[in-house]
Amino acid sequence: MGDIIVLAISCIFVNNILLAQFLGNCPFLGTSKKMETAVGMSMAVVFVMVMAGMITWLVDNYILSTMGLDYLRTIAFILVIASLVQFVEMFLKKSIPGLYAGLGIFLPLITTNCAVMGACLINIKEEYTFLQTLVSSFSYAVGFGLALILFAGVRERVILNRVPKSLQDTSIGLVTAGLIALAFMGFKGMV
Amino acid sequence: MAKSVVQEFSKGLWAEVAPFRLVLGLCPVLAVTKTLENGVGMGLATTFVLVGSNILVSMLRNIIPSKVRIACFIVIIATFVTVVELLMQAFTYPLFLKLGIFIPLIVVNCLVLGRAEAYASKNGVVKSLADGLGMGLGFTLSLGLLGAVREVIGTGTLSLPFLYNIPVMGDGYRPFAFMVEAPGAFIALGLMLCLMNLVPKKG
């Protein structure tokens, strides 16, 4: 049990998927201008990352490894994630229209979110068990949401200030992200 | 014809250089640019995938049904990524280890899919090749530049690709280690973007 908690904390804070591993930076910069879109994206990522983590683990352990097809991992994973996103989209549209409307455009965009694929690859590389995969996928997604929502909060404030013209928008956004990453470096050594 | 091919090639190098102008494909830009060598290696791997997928998508553009085109593009890209992954594992093993999961992650680099969708699916083979090559080399240059800046400030030396490390700052320099850590990547890229914005765009 203790191991699981340590794993969760290290995935959320120490190895934060956005700020320490640099995965999923496109949505990080793209959807962080408004708090509303940041929350929508975070929810969509939590949902898809946990499901993708479970399914890719099963595919890798029971199909690819047993048949010696490890070199097909990249192709297999991206297909699993793309079809999963499509399936989740159809399912939500039919069964939970409220959540579907809330997630909106972010759901299809997740296919090319490297955080999802990256988390799945890390789970395989670290040779996690199924339970560990479940915990780490969920924690990575929570860490993603935490960083994204924090960043959106800071960015909403930055917009109100007068920024030099050449530094505007993405440029100041990156510097802000750097400062948040600096704060997250403080978690190093915690686990 | 000849002129336009040159234009397609050169736009990727400056006017639309991917990481700075389009802000696409940022994850590898930030993650692997700890050193010049890593940056250039990653850039060349991406260029290979970009050129290969652009050519194949352009050749198949009249056959692929438009409704399932994204899925088809992803399969084509994933195939080339697997090729480059196996090639690097065979011939440049140390670099393969350093780049780690970022090689399979070229699949989800939005730059590659973006070029397939926005350019190669609408244009001929030769132009798509020029576009892919230009975009790829622009990407490589940006990664190399960012890698070089971070490496020189962060460690005081510069690793020439596939050769040896040369000291740049001299013995008295105390490395500013924060530049090779995560925050340095964000801040260095942000400031370079700012410098790019100071220079006016040209064709």
Q: Do the chains contact at B104 and A117, CB–CB below 8 Å?
A: yes
Residue B112 Cα, gap to closest chain A Cα (Å): 11
Average confidence (pLDDT) over B26-50: 86
* Predicted pLDDT of residue B170: 67
Residue B117 has pLDDT above 80, yes or no: yes
B49-75: pLDDT as tens digits: 999 999 999 999 888 888 788 888 888
Domain-wise residue ranges, chain A: 10-185
Any domain includes B149:
yes
* Predicted pLDDT of residue B201: 58
Any domain includes B179:
yes
The residue among B187, B117, B122, B109 whose CA lies nearest residue B149 is B187
B125-139: pLDDT as tens digits: 888 998 889 889 988
Any domain includes B203:
no
* Predicted pLDDT of residue B79: 92
A109 or A130, higher pLDDT? A130
* Predicted pLDDT of residue A20: 83
Contact A48, A116 (CB under 8 A): yes
Residue B121 has pLDDT above 60, yes or no: yes
B92 or B3, higher pLDDT? B92
* Predicted pLDDT of residue B1: 47
Any domain includes B186:
yes
Give, for B133, the enclosing helix (H) or strand (E): helix B125-155
The residue among A10, A44, A15, A18 whose CA lies nearest residue A146 is A18
A133 falls in which pLDDT band (50, 70, 90)? very high
Q: Do the chains contact at B190 and A122, CB–CB below 8 Å?
A: no
Mean pLDDT check: name the lowest of A7-11, A96-100, A126-130, A139-143. Answer: A96-100
* Predicted pLDDT of residue B163: 61
Copy the structure tokens of residue B101.
Answer: 């999961």
Residue ranges making up the domain that contains B148? 2-198
* Predicted pLDDT of residue B81: 93
Q: Do the chains contact at B78 and A78, CB–CB below 8 Å?
A: yes
B68-112: pLDDT as tens digits: 888 888 889 999 999 999 999 999 888 888 888 888 888 888 788
Average confidence (pLDDT) over A125-137: 90
* Predicted pLDDT of residue A191: 67
The residue among A141, A121, A151, A171 whose CA lies nearest residue A28 is A151
**Alpha-carbon span B12 to B153, nearest angstrom:** 28
Q: Which residues of B touch A (CB under 8 A)?
A: 23-27, 30-31, 70-71, 74-75, 78-79, 81-82, 85-86, 100-101, 104-105, 107-110, 113, 178, 181-187, 189-191, 193-195, 197-198
Q: Do the chains contact at A118 and B71, CB–CB below 8 Å?
A: no
3-state secondary structure B29-62: HHHCCCCHHHHHHHHHHHHHHHHHHHHHHHHCCC
**Alpha-carbon dihedral sign for residues B113, B114, B115, B121:** positive
What are residue B159's DSSP bridge partners? B165
Mean pLDDT check: name the lowest of A43-47, A156-160, A180-184, B66-70. Answer: B66-70
Task: With beta carbons under 8 A apart, name residues in chain B contacting A121.
Answer: 101, 104-105
Residue A166 has pLDDT above 70, yes or no: yes
End-to-end Cα distance, chain A: 15
**Alpha-carbon span A182 to A187, nearest angstrom:** 10
**Alpha-carbon span A168 to A89, nearest angstrom:** 35
Residue B203 has pLDDT above 70, yes or no: no
What are residue B166's DSSP bridge partners? B158
Taking CA atoms, B72 is separated from A129, B93, B103, B169, in Å, by 32, 30, 20, 49
Contact B10, B134 (CB under 8 A): yes
**Alpha-carbon span B129 to B52, nearest angstrom:** 8
**Alpha-carbon span B185 to B179, nearest angstrom:** 7
Q: Do the chains contact at B31 and A19, CB–CB below 8 Å?
A: no
Averaged confidence pLDDT in chain B: 82
Q: Do the chains contact at B194 and A177, CB–CB below 8 Å?
A: no
